[in-house]
Amino acid sequence: MKQLVDKYAKKLVAAGLAESGAPLVGGLDAELVWNQRSPDSRELGKVFNKLNINSLLFSKPAEPYCSLIEYLVSCADDAIYPGDCETRTFMHDLPVVRTFDADEIARALKQRKSVIIPGRGIITWGRVSPEQAFIFYSSVCFACFVKFFADYLNDSRAGVVSEEQQRVFDTVFKHLEPLPEEPPVLMQGPYQSEAEVYRALSEAGRLTVEYHLVDSFFGNISYLYNNTLYISQTTSSLDELEGCIDPCPLDGSSCTSITASSEFTAHREVILRTGMKGVLHGHPRFSVIISMDCEKEICEFKGQCHIKCPEKRFFEDIPIVPGEVGTGPHGLCHTLPPAMKGHRGVIVYGHGLFTVARDDFNEAFANLLAIERGCRDEYFKRVGRHR
């Protein structure tokens, strides 16, 4: 357990989500262990007695997340309500507790996967391993980033940006790092063996994380080889795909698709409709933000845009479509595949960006990076700010 809590404390820092020395991660096995000594571990240790968990993560977020989360907290009563798809589906809302108290923290965490304490940081939990706590922490940072920038865009257009909101935006703006201009060179395809497929998927997944084109575990990747779709498992981290890739025969002769990504059906339909070999799905932040930007003030589908938006919307040549995770009547397995045909990629409203691989992931990765860079440039153009 000590190795695990150390691992995810370091991973939080490596991902740019916390400063070195800030994360406090506790894990319960035969006994409760922490990655470092801290006076906060005494109060947080009490939380383990109140919840059915085996790990707890507490950290003040790094910039640019720290300033924008503190601003959102200052505008909230008991919770922050982001509008991105993952928060709607998995997190629901982000509760705020004003005191560093085990009873208050546990009360919030019984209902939700995280709690934010103003001036202190974010607390998340894991029932199985510290990885879950890391995932939830990352998700909070992603959701708050998207909400802050989406709100600022709406308020800027309406001319109602407050002085404090502008101050925070200026602070956050200074901490944004530019995206790389050139994509990396990935394994060349078409791949000649199952082993090559596994290596190619792991490489592309790892680089998608390293280039900050996905947050948390929500991205996924697949490749068709010998009529079998090799796809990342549900809840797997794209930068640790070794042992987390499922082979799913398209003839349905195996049930491995049960543990595969929840978007297996969407991947399969994209490949069947386009004739491509693979799908790469990331959650680049500005692609998500741009997908949620709509100037239509009166709409019967307001609040249901992510599943029912009837408008034909585009960013440049990239379709923006609604669709929820899974195979329900509004599932992205129905909206994504027809939109992908003949396009470099498709953005699913509030969810993320999908691109396709012809023989290998070089073009898919390059398109993922280029579309996100374009969305980022477009965002700052819309708010009248240039990098």
**219 confidence band (pLDDT: 50, 70, 90):** confident
- Using one digit for the tens of pLDDT, what is the confidence trace for 33-50? 999 999 999 999 999 999
Q: Is the pLDDT of residue 169 over 60?
A: yes
- What tokens were used for 343? 């396009």
Q: Is the pLDDT of residue 190 over 90?
A: yes
- 245-249, strands of its sheet edge to edge: 245-249, 228-232, 220-225, 278-282, 352-357, 345-348, 318-321, 313-315
Cα gap 282→50, rounded to integer Å = 36
Q: Is the pLDDT of residue 168 over 60?
A: yes
Could you tell me if 318 and 336 are in contact, meaning their C-beta atoms sit under 8 angstroms apart?
no
- Which of these ranges, 73-87, 291-305, 367-381, has the smallest mean pLDDT? 291-305
- Using one digit for the tens of pLDDT, what is the confidence trace for 323-353? 877 767 778 888 999 999 999 999 999 889 9
Q: Is the model more confident about 217 or about 33?
A: 33
Could you tell me if 202 and 91 are in contact, meaning their C-beta atoms sit under 8 angstroms apart?
no
Q: Which residues have CB under 8 Å from 37's CB, separation 6+?
A: none
Transcribe 259-313 into DSSP letters. TB-TTHHHHHHHHHHH--SEEEEE--HHHHHHHT-------TTTT-HHHH--S-E
Domains in the chain with CATH codes? 2-175 (3.40.225.10), 194-382 (3.40.225.10)
Taking phi over 0 as left and psi of -120 to 50 as alpha, with beta for the rest, 159 belongs to left
Average pLDDT over residues 202-210: 94
**5 confidence band (pLDDT: 50, 70, 90):** very high
Of 71, 96, 72, 92, the C-alpha closest to 83 is 92
Query: Chain-wide mean pLDDT for the chain?
Result: 90
- For the chain, how are helix, strand and coil distributed in percent, rounded to 5? 40, 20, 40
